[in-house]
Amino acid sequence: MRIQNKKILASILFVLISFVCAAQGGDPPPPMPPPPPGLPIDGFTTLALVVGAYFGIKKTIQNSKE
């Protein structure tokens, strides 16, 4: 293969590689949205403690009567 043919082949390869590299570019994907805020646990906590205490005291009184 002659030197001139090698130069032409090398030039064509460089041009084709540059097109491939340009085709791979693009915008990065958008960032993920922030996670949702945590749910508050203080809504029915007091009510649950009162109901639990009521049933606990009731069960204790029933067991002491037996």
Section 50-57 average pLDDT: 95
CA–centroid distance for 38 within its chain: 15
CA atoms within 13 A on the CB side of 39: 4
Rounded mean pLDDT of the chain? 82
Give the pLDDT of residue 61.
Answer: 93
Q: For the residues 22-26, what does the mean pLDDT come to? A: 59
For 2-22, write each residue's pLDDT tens digit: 878 888 899 888 888 777 765
Length of the chain in residues, anyone? Answer: 66
How many Å apart are CA 34 and CA 40, to the nearest integer?
Answer: 18
Q: Among residues 15, 31, 12, which one has the least CA distance to residue 23?
A: 15
